[in-house]
Amino acid sequence: MTRIDRTFAALREKGKKAFVAYIMAGDPDRQTSMQIMRGLPRAGVDIIELGIPFTDPMADGPTIQLAGQRALEAGQTLNKTLEMVAEFRKDDNTTPVVLMGYYNPIYNHGVDRFLEDARAAGVDGLIVVDLPPEEDEELCIPAQKAGLNFIRLATPTTDDCRLPKVLQNTSGFVYYVSITGITGAAAARAEDVAPEVARIKSQTDIPVVVGFGIRTPDTAREIASVADGAVVGSAIVKQVEEGRSVEEILEFVRSLAEGAHRA
């Protein structure tokens, strides 16, 4: 079992849902980003998604795009992102860390070298938004062989014909995108999400967590109540953009985690 598998198993035993938090590595700078990352588990985060900054983030809205730009301008790289995970692991060998981003930086790093480096750093899973199932031989299957979960996105436009293809090599959890469009674009609604989560769960035993459009503790609770967990990204990153202190950001994260855990 991976750290991700163990986390969901432990939450199931407690009758709790997962809270997953996304931050951009190196935003607004490496030191602050590291402080936030270290504080996330204490704030109630079950799984950390760590964004890899990239110059052309096609699926991301303005908030995440600007975060990536800030990180790149501060000198963040893929290597430095892996170094952050390794540093985090010195104090925390339990909380799963998932790298989320695009294939280009990984391809430039070299797939075999990247997987070796990611594994050594303590990465548990990957979400690579621009690699469809038809490209599984590129990264998904090698990642699974290296012991990393490969987490796939399902969306409102993933119909019954497409869904089995999306699920076939997915592990760790399925990330259901609650809305069509880019990150931070609209609010998630539990009544819309519930039937889609049920449809996915009818075809897989893998946990289904829901992200996009979750900005408040109440929404986190409502969404987690119809899924196996909730993901918040843009709302947390917005706190960084607004210049909030690390303590203020972690207090906001704590409120979201408490919402999801009440589901």
**Percentage of residues of the chain with pLDDT beyond 70:** 97
**How far is the C-alpha of 123 from the C-alpha of 138, rounded, in Å?**
18
**How far is the C-alpha of 3 from the C-alpha of 111, rounded, in Å?**
22
Look at residues 132, 175, 171 and name the one whose alpha carbon lies nearest to residue 3: 171
Contact 126, 104 (CB under 8 A): no
The one-letter amino acid code at 25 reads A
Look at residues 263, 261, 252, 250 and name the one whose alpha carbon lies nearest to residue 41: 250
CA end-to-end distance (rounded Å), the chain? 25
Contact 211, 247 (CB under 8 A): no
Q: What is the pLDDT of residue 9?
A: 98
Determine whether 180 is exposed, middle or buried from the number of CB atoms within 10 Å of its CB (0-12, 13-18, 19+): exposed
Catalytic site positions: 49, 60
Q: Which domain holds residue 173?
A: 3-261
Peptide bond into 28 cis (omega under 30): yes
CATH code, domain carrying 238: 3.20.20.70
Instruction: Find the angle CA(2)-CA(6)-CA(8) to the nearest 5 degrees.
Output: 120
Task: Dump pLDDT digits (tens) for 207-254.
Answer: 999 999 899 999 999 999 999 999 999 999 999 999 999 999 999 999
C-alpha 222 chain-centroid distance: 19
Domain count, the chain: 1
Buried b (16+ CB within 10 A) or exposed e, 228-255: bbbbbbbbbbbbbbeeeebeebbebbbe
Q: What is the pLDDT of residue 180?
A: 62
Query: Which residues have CB under 8 Å from 129's CB, separation 6+?
Result: 58, 59, 100, 101, 102, 153
Task: Dump pLDDT digits (tens) for 148-187.
Answer: 999 999 999 999 999 999 999 999 999 999 876 555 556 7
**How far is the C-alpha of 29 from the C-alpha of 107, rounded, in Å?**
24
Task: Tell me the two tokens of residue 221.
Answer: 């609770």
User: pTM, whole model, 2 decimals?
Assistant: 0.96
Look at residues 212, 262, 263 and name the one whose alpha carbon lies nearest to residue 233: 212
Q: What is the mean pLDDT of residues 66-82?
A: 97
Alpha-carbon distances, residue 155 vs 49, 126, 178, 201 (angstroms) = 18, 18, 7, 14
Task: Dump pLDDT digits (tens) for 116-133.
Answer: 999 999 999 999 999 999
Look at residues 156, 153, 152 and name the one whose alpha carbon lies nearest to residue 196: 156
